[in-house]
Amino acid sequence: MVIVICGAFLNISLNIGIIADSKVNEIRNGLTDKSTFNKSFLYSVVLTLIVIGGFLFLGDFLTRKNEKNKLIAECEETLSRYDKSIMDISVALTDTALIGEIPDILKFLGEQKKEFPSIILITSDFYKEQLTYLKITPYMEKSDLKKDLFNFSFYSCDKNDCEYLKEVFENGESDYFFWSEQNNYKLYFPITKGETKYLLLFSKFDRYGKIGS
């Protein structure tokens, strides 16, 4: 895609140069007056800028779309290949004797694909009769998971995902959700096993907040 766009830019630049040289020769030969040349050249420059802007927008759009499709495919492949681990998470969420195993499972899943240096689990509960979201990370203390609200391990949603989380946990939304901003992305996959419902959040940021390679 980059090669195609660069080739298009080069072609446009050459055409402008050819047009400019042609018009200069016409002025010298008295075939075109200077004011007409200035207008024609201005129109050519404006049109070129519009075309270049369109190419840049299209290139960025296609790049992001390809990245999104690749990430979703990698995520689906991970969930399919390690289905037993997903089932173990579903069982552990409802069993206080097993729930301490979840951080290690998340750590294991996060080591399988370089695209996902960070995988956390998001589930829901109620705090004083108010719906809230809880998170389990690969590096949580196992003892915290046996405390109320995972020892207040809340997941703070923002403008990008608050409404989506509400749809998942209140209205049964089952489709994935993807958003990206600059070099960061988050991919949410809802999972329902019987009465157990939770999300796996695949992110480009690792546990230290650095961008994964």
Q: What is the pLDDT of residue 97?
A: 93
Q: Cβ distance 178 to 161 under 8 Å?
A: no
Domain boundaries, the chain: 2-74, 84-203
Q: Show the 3-state SS of the chain.
A: CHHHHHHHHHHHHHHHHHHHHHHHHHHHCCCCCHHHHHHHHHHHHHHHHHHHHHHHHHHHHHHHHHHHHHHHHHHHHHHHHCHHHHHHHHHHCCCCCCHHHHHHHHHHHHCCCCCCCEEEEEEEEEECCEEEEEEECCCCCHHHHHCCHHHHCECCCCCCCHHHHHHHHHHCCCCCEEEEECCEEEEEEEEEECCEEEEEEEECECCCCCECC
Q: What is the pLDDT of residue 193?
A: 85
Q: For 162, list phi and psi in degrees, rounded to 5.
A: -60, -50
Q: What is the pLDDT of residue 162?
A: 92
Per residue of the chain (213 residues), give pLDDT as tens.
Answer: 444 445 554 565 555 556 556 655 555 565 555 555 455 656 665 565 565 555 444 444 444 566 777 778 888 888 899 999 999 999 999 999 999 999 999 999 988 877 777 899 999 999 999 999 999 999 999 999 999 999 999 999 988 899 999 999 999 888 999 988 777 788 999 999 888 899 999 987 543 444 333
Crossing angle for the helix pair 2-28 and 34-81, to the nearest 10 degrees: 180
pTM over 0.75: no
Q: What is the pLDDT of residue 14?
A: 56
Q: What is the pLDDT of residue 166?
A: 93
